[in-house]
Amino acid sequence: MPELPEVEFYKKEAEKCLGKEIKFTNSYYPEIVNLKNSFQGKRIAKVFRYGKYLFLQIDGNCLVMHFGMTGKLICNNKE
């Protein structure tokens, strides 16, 4: 399970994507989490952490992440 420093690392990585358009999303469980219809084409407005939870504010919505045992966040900063 990720510890607080690891979640803080993910927060700093996500902050590099502030203001950028989300062009692609992927989920291991697309039948449960439909990220494409919810966030694709929108922009990340704010990133914050509360304990081991990471929050991404995206155009008035909020994506809440808890990385569990093997979770990860991949952010590609290419234009």
Q: Is residue 72 assigned to a domain?
A: no
Q: Is residue 52 assigned to a domain?
A: yes
Q: Is residue 74 assigned to a domain?
A: no
pLDDT digits (tens, 9 = 90+) for 10-55: 899 889 989 988 888 777 777 767 766 778 889 999 999 998 899 9
Q: Is residue 18 assigned to a domain?
A: yes
The pLDDT score that the predictor gives to residue 45 is 95
What does the block give as tokens for 48? 């914050």
Domain of residue 50, residue span: 4-23+33-66
What does the block give as tokens for 10? 């993910």
Q: Is residue 71 assigned to a domain?
A: no
Q: Is residue 79 assigned to a domain?
A: no
Q: Is residue 76 assigned to a domain?
A: no
Q: pTM for the whole thing?
A: 0.77
Residue 3 pLDDT class (50, 70, 90 cuts)? confident
Q: Is residue 73 assigned to a domain?
A: no
Number of domains, the chain:
1
Cβ-based neighbour number of residue 22 at 10 Å? 19
